[in-house]
Amino acid sequence: MFDGLFSSESLQEALRILQEEIPFAIWETFYVTVLSTAFAIVIGLPLGVLLVVGEKNGVRPLPAWLLKALNVIINLLRSIPFLILMIMVFPLSRLIIGTTVGTNASIVPLVVAAFPFIARLVEGSMREVNPNVVEAAQSMGATPFQIIWKVMIPESIPSLISNATVAITTILGYSAMSGIIGGGGLGKIAIDYGYYRYKYLIMVLAVILLILLVQVFQSIGTHLSIKSDKRLKK
C-alpha cells in the first residue's frame, strides 16, 4: 500500500496540492467545524440545562413525560452512526440549504449529530454545580430563570468551556467524514486523493493536518477553561 510513498512523482504532486488546495481545505474544515459547533451549542445548551432543571427536584420541574421524551430523542439521535445519519438528514438539508451535497449542506448533519452530544455534556456540567449554592440563591428569592442564568451557567463556565472543547474536536472528526457527501475540507482531500486515487502521501498529509487542528483547538480550550476558573487561587 505504501510502495512509492515518497517517489519523486508523488512528492511533486503532494507539493502542488499542498500549495493549491490545502490552504482552502484547512479554511473549509475550520469554517464547517466552528459553525456546526456554534449551531449545536445554540440547540444543545438549553436542552442540557432543561434536562437538569426540569427534574422532579430541579429548579423548574417539567412534566415527567416531557423530560422522558427529551431523553429518548437525545438517546435516539446519539445512537445513529454518523455515516447513516448524514444520509438520513438529506431531506432536512434540502429544506434548509437547498441541496444535499457540498460544504454548507454538510453542516446540517453535523449539527443534528452534535447537539444531542452537547446536551449531554451540558447536563454533566450543570450537575457539577454545588446544589447548596442553588439553594442559597433560592433562599434569596431568585426566580428559576435567574438561578439558571446567574448561578448555574456562570458557576459552570470552566466545565462548559472544557466540554465545548471536547465537542469541537469531536465535530472536527465528524466533519472529515462528511467528505463522503462532498463536504469540503481536509476530509474531502483525504478521501478524494487517498481513497479514490491511491495517493497515500496526500492522505497522510491531510491526517497530519487534522491532528494539528485538534491539538490547536484542545490547547486553546484547556487554556481558556483554566484561565476562567476563579476557584483556582492565583
Contact residues for other proteins (CB under 8 A)? 130, 132-133, 135-143, 146, 150-151, 154-155, 157-158, 228-234
**Which residues lie below 8 Å from residue 206, measured CB to CB, with a gap of 6+?**
22, 25, 186, 187, 189, 190, 193, 194
Residue nearer to other proteins on the CB measure, 85 or 157: 157
Q: In whole angstroms, how close is the CB of 132 to other proteins at the nearest point?
A: 5
What's the grid cell of residue 13? 504532486
Q: How far is the CB of 120 from other proteins (least distance, A)?
A: 23
* Closest distance to other proteins from the beta carbon of 60 (Å): 11
Give the shortest CB-228-to-other proteins separation in angstroms: 8
Q: Which ranges constitute the DSSP H helices of the chain?
A: 8-20, 22-53, 64-79, 82-88, 90-96, 103-127, 131-139, 144-146, 153-155, 157-177, 186-189, 200-228
Identity of the residue, 81 or 231, whose beta carbon is nearer to other proteins in the bound complex: 231
Comparing CB distances to other proteins, the nearer of 16 and 150 is: 150
- All three cell numbers of 73: 430523542
Closest to other proteins by CB, 71 or 228: 228
The answer to whether 165 and 70 have CB atoms below 8 angstroms apart is: no
